[in-house]
Amino acid sequence: GAGVSQSPRYKVAKRGQDVALRCDPISGHVSLFWYQQALGQGPEFLTYFQNEAQLDKSGLPSDRFFAERPEGSVSTLKIQRTQQEDSAVYLCASRDRGRETQYFGPGTRLLVL
């Protein structure tokens, strides 16, 4: 079946601009995760949803970052007033109920100029 998809794949933003990144998880997957991957580093956790409930947002770096999953399926990560340090690849992953494995999307590469 279809995997996790993310859009856009690439986004160039001017500093101060707001951006919205979309994640379509694998159909039926209850859990959804967002990670941030800086160049040359491993992914770092941002936030986690179970269905529409955001159960952990401890990794969001500032109040400029906001994520939602209103119907328990598609999720959007929004970054307000982007800064250069927000430049990274943003990864989405989903996981089926009761399973261990997270399945990752291809990521959105964000470049803030």
Partner 1 sequence: GNSVTQMEGPVTLSEEAFLTINCTYTATGYPSLFWYVQYPGEGLQLLLKATKADDKGSNKGFEATYRKETTSFHLEKGSVQVSDSAVYFCALRQGAQKLVFGQGTRLTINP
Contact stretch for partner 1 (CB under 8 A) within 15-23, 34-42, 64-72, 73-81: 34-42
Rule CB under 8 A: choose which of 7, 22, 45, 54 binds partner 1: 45
Rule CB under 8 A: choose which of 56, 61, 97, 111 binds partner 1: 56
Q: From the CB of residue 60, how many other CB atoms can be counted at a distance below 10 Å?
A: 19
By the rule CB under 8 A, 25 interacts with partner 1: no
Spatial distance between the Cα atoms of 29 and 93, rounded to a whole number of angstroms: 10
Nearer to partner 1, 17 or 37 (CB): 37
